[in-house]
Amino acid sequence: MDTPFTPPGRPFDGGPFNHPSHGGGFGFAPGDRSPFVGPADRRARHDERRATRRDMREQFRDHVREHRGEGGPGFGFGPGFGGPGFGFGPGFGPGFGAGPFGPGGPRGRRHGGRGRPSGRSRRGDVRAAILKLLTERPMHGYEMTQEIAARSDGLWKPSPGSIYPTLQLLEDEGLIKPAESHGSKKTFELTDDGRTAADAIETAPWEEITEGADPAAMNLRNALGQLFGAVAQSVHSANAEQQQRILDIVNNARREIYQILGESD
């Protein structure tokens, strides 16, 4: 009973969560409390970790504010429909399911039945996507999200809740590091180990996402994005009479679409 539990395949001194820089991870490992590390060193590491977490939280909040700010107030259409309104995803993201973390994105439910998953349920490997993107140039988290969405034709837009923790993990693993930045956002670049890891990725995740996607559905999604972008713009720029005309157009379009859907094959 005095023998501590060791998870299978994860000894105390292995894995990212038991790395000394984490202070022993979840309490299984001795971490940096060895007799060779003094209180001052432990405090310095603690302060460094706190500063890193604080910086990541700030970037997360900036990302969320920018994401929400893409749509008009109340409607939340965003750049092709992803804002905080109806949760239609990144610019209506992957289909029309619930957004990746609230204001739009790919966290739609998977649907049962046969065949390939629909666009709304498509997911990608965030870790691999970040590594592949950083082979091109240093980027910050929000830019990565936008790039992934663009390269997957709107089928996949990772949320800040998946991008920023992954960035932190990759930095902890020594695969990425902060790059020199002249703006307020923290940008990252690959280390030598990170470039080796990126080179080992044969296919970019966004290519896997778009493989086999229905071109007609993707064209429809893109057209919807442009339509809702125009409608969202009218909220700010059109006068009352113009807004009423736009509303009539949208309502008529909706009725015609239902008429088409009601036609027999």
Residues 157-183 have pLDDT tens digits of: 898 999 999 999 999 999 999 998 767
Res 72 pLDDT > 60: no
| Token output for 15 | 């894995």
Span 186-192, average pLDDT: 95
Spatial distance between the Cα atoms of 190 and 165, rounded to a whole number of angstroms: 16
| Token output for 228 | 């809702």
Nearest Cα neighbor of 232 from 89, 63, 65, 69 is 69
Answer for the pair 18, 25: CB distance below 8 angstroms, yes or no. Answer: yes
Helix, coil or strand: residue 48: helix
Other CB atoms within 10 Å distance of the CB of residue 25: 17
Helix-then-strand count for the chain, H and E: 8, 3
CATH 1.10.10.10 is the classification of domain 120-212: yes
| Token output for 109 | 């439910």
What are the beta bridge partners of residue 140?
187
pLDDT band, very low/low/confident/very high, at 30 (cuts 50, 70, 90): very low
pLDDT in tens, 211-259: 767 777 777 877 887 888 899 899 899 999 999 999 999 999 999 999 8
In Å, how far are 47, 86, 103, 234, 253 from 249, measured between CA atoms?
57, 20, 26, 13, 6
